[in-house]
Amino acid sequence: MKIKIGDKIRANHNREGFISDINIGLTTTDIAGELGVSVKEYDTELNYYGSVSYVTDSNDCYWSYFHQIKERL
């Protein structure tokens, strides 16, 4: 699934929100991508480590690993 900043997603715990950040991990110990690079878009079929941050309609902020993204809405 291709995702980019601004896309609406459904992630873990069935939360929905708009992607604000996409981070890719560059080492096997950085599974959330906190020490990696920030990108504007990503294809989850590449199976890299990383995460997205997203903001809900009620302005709550959450994050999710790539594999926890259920769908792009």
Q: Which residues of 51-70 are buried (b: 16+ CB within 10 A; e: fewer)?
A: bbbbeeeeeeeebbbbeebe
Confidence (pTM):
0.93
Q: What is the pLDDT of residue 63?
A: 97
Residue 70's pLDDT is 96
Q: What pLDDT shows up at residue 66?
A: 96
Q: Write down the residue that tokens 């906190």 correspond to.
A: 34
Residue 18 has what pLDDT? 98
Q: What is the pLDDT along the chain (73 residues), one digit of tens a residue?
A: 999 999 999 999 999 999 999 999 999 999 999 999 999 999 999 999 999 999 999 999 999 999 999 999 9
